[in-house]
A and B are shown apart, each in its own frame.
Chain A
Amino acid sequence: MSHKGFNLIELVLYIGITAIILTASLSLAWGVIFDQVKTTAKSEIEYNYQFLDNFLRNQIQTAKSVNMTLSVLNANPSRLVLNNPDDSITIIEVENKTINQNGQNFILSGLKVTLPSTAPLSLITTKTDATNFIIHYSALNKQLITDLSLEYLNPSQDPRYEASKTWTNTTTLRAE
């Protein structure tokens, strides 16, 4: 007797097992791809959060005082104007940005800083929307208390790709 391949039953079993393995593999692979997208969105927000939190703290700690005349406090969006030791000012405020993604235009709230003698610089990436920026001043503890929220740009509104961060930055003014 000469075997040149599978008989019918073997072939059916082979296809069945292969299908199960492939389905499981694809499911796991999809999990990896989905996790990667989710991680990218989360990472984007986390990196923006860490940079912005540190930047705010450094700027406020090195400032001489808060410019209460030019600042807009207790409102969303707020505007923070700091008096620097050399009598220059630093402004941190919200900016509206139009982003085109997949042929669609989105208007985002960015955050920008205007340092002395420089053009305004964006503080968060173009994939991030600053949905909340409210600054309070605690005269008692000489602290600036900033409520911030960042949201990852998610044009499809797919909840699986949502990432956001809400936190409060508190920084004590060193010079006052």
Chain B
Amino acid sequence: MKNHLGQNLIEAIIAIGIFGILMAGGVMTGLHYFDSQIHAQAQSNLAQLANNSFEIIDGIAKNNWVSLTVGTHGLLLNNNNWEISGTPDLVDQTTRTINVTSGLRDGNCNLVEVGGTTDTDTKLITITFTYNDNRGLQSKSFSQYFTNWFAPTNCLMQTEAGSLSLDVSTAYIDATKKSLYGIVLRNLGTTIITIDKMTFTWNTGGNITYVKIDGANYWHATNGTGTPQGAQPSGTELDLVNFVLQPQTSYPIDNVRFDDKVDGATFTIKATMLDTSTKTEVTTPPFIP
């Protein structure tokens, strides 16, 4: 019988191999840690570069809005003035591509990503940085909206409707089921605004017979207040006696009367101001007897 008091060669090689694998694993983990640290710093630097780039575009937008034309661009420092250039530029081995697209707004002037109409006062700027590192070609994009605050021509122009709040949150149908109560008008601005016309659209039957604001009729079907005269169907534009809202003041629409039951109806209420700007709200008021 053999008497082994030490390792044989196979055992020794296996032991060394295991030691080597463990050692290599530890070292690779260490190297990966540093690589990750450098990669994270590169990402952080890109965010910093994006800040700088948006700051450059901010100055250009304020000085020369029309130079932000839709398309692909870069930035160019010309005689200590930044300009939008026709092709992407290189910053410290990173390619900076600036893509300018038009902002889109819906009927209420809210920014939307799809649909809506082009707003020439708003641009969506997307900056894409591409660079090579030990992991290959990398790319990172940043986006920001820019607005022509200094000379807006569309939605951002100050209008009467822009100061009007048409609050339908407390609207309700009363016990008669023929009256709409609880809508509140507010002038949020610092100058007076005037409601010229109102249009009520609802999806049940009947006609509208009068609109009373702050205790007085501003349109009435039969007493000669406003036009057209006569009870009117859903969707008719009612030319009110002009209703003036003082700055920072609220007024209740304390009764919109119909000649038939309208409980359960969904209403679309549009206020048209003297400057032709409009405000629209939709509500399905509860029936509160």
Contacts and interface: CB of A to CB of B under 8 A. Distances in A.
Chains A and B belong together in one complex: yes
Interface of A: 1-6, 10, 13-14, 17-18, 21, 24-25, 28-29, 31-32, 35-36, 38-39, 42-43, 46, 49-50, 53-54, 57, 136-138, 140-143, 145, 166-172
15 contacts: A2-B3, A6-B9, A17-B12, A17-B16, A18-B16, A29-B27, A31-B31, A42-B38, A42-B41, A138-B81, A143-B55, A143-B82, A166-B92, A168-B52, A170-B55
A170 B51 CA distance: 9
Given A21-B16, A25-B24, A50-B48, A35 B31 contact: yes
B289 interface: no
Nearest to A137: B80
Interface in B1-17: 2-9, 12-13, 16
**Chain B: interface secondary structure?**
helix
Contact of B6 (A5, A49, A137): A5
Nearest to B19: A21
B134 interface: no
B80 A57 contact: no
A123 to B, nearest CB: 16
Contacts of A50: 44-45, 48
B82 A57 contact: no
B1 to A, nearest CB: 10
B175 interface: no
Given A35-B34, A142-B59, A136 B80 contact: yes
Closest 7 CB pairs of A and B: A141-B59, A28-B27, A172-B59, A32-B30, A136-B80, A35-B34, A5-B6
Contacts of A138: 59, 80-82
A31 B27 contact: yes
